[in-house]
Amino acid sequence: MGKIKVGIVGAGGMAFYHYEGFIKAGAEVIAMADADPGRAKGFAEKRGISKVYSSLAEMVSACPNLDAVSIITPNKFHKPLVIEALGLGKHVYCEKPPALNAGEMEEMLAASKQAKKQLMFDFNNRARPESQAIIKYIKKGRVGTINSAQATWIRRAGIPGFGGWFTNKALSGGGPVIDLPHMLDLALYFMGYPEPDYLLGTAFYDFMDNKAFKGPWGIPDAAKGVTDVESSCHAMVTFKTGQSLQIRNSWAEFNEREIVSVTFQGTKAGGKVERLFEIDGIDETCIDSCRLFTEEFGNQVDLDIKTEKDEYMGRVANAANFVQAISGKAEPFNKPEEALVLMKIIDAMYKSASSKKPVQIK
């Protein structure tokens, strides 16, 4: 099999990581497409990509030898573009979140099965060295059964712009619940992606009109834009296996600082992966702690697991894994069936918060 040929749709901030991952795995990025051809051209010229188009359809028509397509667009366009690419016979790598809701994800899963093509998402935190270290201990039986876990991504001031697509529910699907699903996905990954049963959640909309809570990243404010998404959500989900998971997501609420972590409690050991910020001048998001908590010979023991630093936060490694998976050289880090479970939980969080009642997840 020759080099995998990839086309990228969307020249936004994540395009760099997709490109670097594909190249690292030995693939060739031969084309770019963006509704703003000028933006696509700017990205492509810096990397020697000679072919630039204004749409996925135009790109695939002009480059029928493409093996795969990556999708980097606002959330609203994930489903139609993924289904279009699969229908054209291409493997697909898509940014998170998978879709606006579980119904869309079901359509994407069905399309991938019908096309018999790989569909993978950028859940980059699974690919971080710390997460891969922890999962080895879990798979080797050192943790036992994970009874409970806590998935947390909370920010004190982290609204990604006001009035842009992030804060417009029709374009994004929601606020931090759908924008920051990484720790929820990582907790489910550690737990073995069990089948959810019931969920009880609450959502809050405080601070969504207060620019003091804007994050240091994101997109420019849109003066006449829409701001109709939640600022925070807290929930608990139980599973048919008897396991349970607490979820905290926020862009804006009064916390000591931003906290990004997964903690779990198993029958043989507990563990924690947590983002460390402002460590010795190193990029503030490139290091996670990686620890196990257990008992040995009557003593309580904490195990500090040392891993390599990854300044790209697993994003390059995850994109590289996509190429390796479609080449038959590796198992994919994530599967569309898992993405469907994730979206069902996210849907239930919004439904429970709206109804103020527990929701059964089917």
| Local confidence band at 282 (pLDDT 50, 70, 90 cut-offs) | low
Cite the DSSP H helix spans in the chain. Answer: 15-24, 37-46, 56-62, 78-87, 102-115, 129-139, 169-172, 176-179, 182-191, 315-326, 336-355
CATH code 3.30.360.10 region(s) in the chain: 126-312+342-360
Which CATH code for domain 126-312+342-360? 3.30.360.10
Per-residue pLDDT, 218: 80
Q: Over the stretch 119-140, which tens digit does the pLDDT of each residue have? A: 999 999 999 999 999 999 999 9
Contacts of 60 (CB under 8 A, 6+ apart): 7, 66, 69, 85, 88, 90
Q: pTM for this one?
A: 0.95
CATH code 3.40.50.720 region(s) in the chain: 5-124+316-334
Mean pLDDT of the chain: 95
Q: Over the stretch 34-76, which tens digit does the pLDDT of each residue have? A: 999 899 999 999 999 989 999 999 999 999 999 999 999 999 9
Instruction: Give the long-range contacts of residues 14-18, CB within 8 A, separation 24 or more.
Output: 14/72, 14/95, 14/122, 14/315, 15/43, 15/72, 17/122, 17/124, 17/312, 17/315, 17/316, 17/319, 18/70, 18/72, 18/93, 18/122, 18/315, 18/319
Cis peptide before 97 (omega within 30 of 0): yes
**Would the pLDDT of 284 be above 70?**
no
**Would the pLDDT of 335 be above 60?**
yes
Q: Do the Cβ atoms of 150 and 246 come closer than 8 Å?
A: yes
Q: Over the stretch 133-160, which tens digit does the pLDDT of each residue have? A: 999 999 999 999 999 999 999 999 999 9
**Would the pLDDT of 285 be above 70?**
no
Nearest CA to 21 out of 29, 13, 33 is that of 29
| Local confidence band at 279 (pLDDT 50, 70, 90 cut-offs) | low
DSSP helix/strand/coil, 258: coil
Q: Over the stretch 208-251, which tens digit does the pLDDT of each residue have? A: 999 999 998 788 999 889 999 999 999 999 999 999 999 999 99
Per-residue pLDDT, 281: 52
**Would the pLDDT of 359 be above 80?**
yes
Query: Mean of the pLDDT values across residues 277-283?
Result: 60
**Would the pLDDT of 280 be above 60?**
no
Q: Over the stretch 69-116, which tens digit does the pLDDT of each residue have? A: 999 999 999 999 999 999 999 999 999 999 999 999 999 999 999 999
Q: How far apart are CA 145 and CA 270, in angstroms?
A: 10
Per-residue pLDDT, 9: 98
**Would the pLDDT of 1 be above 90?**
no
Which CATH code for domain 5-124+316-334? 3.40.50.720
| Local confidence band at 333 (pLDDT 50, 70, 90 cut-offs) | very high
Nearest CA to 15 out of 34, 35, 1 is that of 34
- Residue 293 belongs to what H/E stretch? strand 287-296
Query: Mean of the pLDDT values across residues 273-296?
Result: 79
Strands (DSSP E) found in 170-243: 196-204, 232-239
Q: Count of H helices and E strands in the chain?
A: 11, 15
Contacts of 253 (CB under 8 A, 6+ apart): 154, 155, 156, 204, 206, 207, 231, 232
Cα 319 to Cα 26, 181, 322: the distances in Å are 11, 18, 5
Per-residue pLDDT, 278: 65
Per-residue pLDDT, 89: 97
